[in-house]
């Protein structure tokens, strides 16, 4: 699985492999997903806060993007 290296303060580099995108707009989620997947980041999506909470608990994403 691909991922992007992130610099962590005092901890060297680590791989960011999962990003959760939360938005009710399918168009916006698709645009962001395509962009991130294009650089090798795994993306999961949620349409609302309830789905986001479930995804966070199940997948432990490295980053959550909300708009």
For the full predicted model, state whether its pTM sits above 0.95: no
Domains and CATH numbers, the chain: 14-66 (3.40.50.2300)
Taking the C-alpha atoms of residue 31 and residue 53, their distance in angstroms, rounded to an integer, is 22
Q: How many CB atoms lie within 10 A of CB 52?
A: 20
pLDDT at 64: 97
Taking the C-alpha atoms of residue 14 and residue 28, their distance in angstroms, rounded to an integer, is 28
67 residues of the chain, pLDDT tens digit each: 455 555 555 566 666 699 999 999 999 999 999 999 999 999 999 999 999 999 999 999 999 999 8
């Amino acid at each position: 699985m691909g991922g992007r290296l992130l610099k962590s303060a005092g901890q060297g580099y680590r791989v960011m492999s999962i990003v959760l995108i939360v938005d009710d707009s399918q168009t916006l989620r698709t645009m962001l997903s395509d962009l991130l997947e294009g650089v090798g980041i795994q993306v999961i999506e949620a349409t609302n806060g309830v789905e986001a909470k479930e995804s966070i608990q199940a997948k432990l994403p490295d980053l959550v993007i909300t708009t």
